[in-house]
Amino acid sequence: MDLDELKRTWQSQSTRIDRLEAQNRELRRCVRENKVYTKRSKLMRTYTWLLITSVVMIPFVLLAFPTLDIDMGVTIMFVVTMAGLAIANSYVYMLIKKIDPTEMSVREALSRVLYLDRTRQRIRWVSMTVAVVVVSIFFYTLYQSDGHAGLLGGIVGGIVGGILGLRKEAEIKATIRAIKADLEDALQDD
């Protein structure tokens, strides 16, 4: 084998390696986008159900509370709270929907995920504060109308709802953390 033939072989191997590396990068990008897209879809489904729940609660409260002899002021407060939650959940849903790893750079997607996380945390703290006030007033109203039995039923319902809410919150946080980790890994690859 002479020197020119060796150079040509070397060059063809180098070209082949470059082509394989480019294919490998493209494959990693597709896998990463698919992972982020799948997790994004999971968040969208979660917030769709949260939105549906808060919207369905409005007519339920309007129909059920008067039959339980609950004050109209408390009923209106619950309806306004549920409407506020519906608006907040739809806003977070729209933020999630805007994160599209196939249409934007990794840096932009990561920036939107970080903004989503900060906004969601603010909404969560405001809604938790409002919920404590509304539930406290509701418990007081239950105690006034049904005594200890009504209060006990409200507390049990509050505990069950709180546990389910905390579980869902942990799931949402884990999904957002996983999306951030995938995007941060992708940022380091680029």
Q: How confident is residue 144, by pLDDT bands cut at 50, 70 and 90?
A: confident
Distance of alpha carbon 109 from alpha carbon 190, whole angstroms: 14
Domain count of the fold of the chain: 1
Summarised one tens digit per residue, pLDDT across range 25-51 is 665 666 666 778 888 899 999 999 999
Q: Which whole number is the average pLDDT over 89-110?
A: 89
Average pLDDT of the residues in 89-116: 90
**The pLDDT of residue 75:** 87
Q: For all residues of the chain together, what is the average pLDDT?
A: 85
pLDDT of residue 32: 66
Q: Domain range spanning residue 77?
A: 3-189
Residue 121 has pLDDT above 80, yes or no: yes
Confidence (pLDDT) at 133: 92
Answer yes or no: is pLDDT of 174 > 90: yes
Q: Give the pLDDT band (50/70/90) at residue 103.
A: confident
Looking at residue 45, its pLDDT comes to 94
Residue-wise pLDDT for 78-99, tens only, equals 899 999 999 999 999 999 999 8
Contact status, residue 161 vs residue 173, Cβ threshold 8 Å:
no
The verdict on pTM exceeding 0.85 is no
pLDDT, position 17: 76
Token readout for 27 is: 């494959």
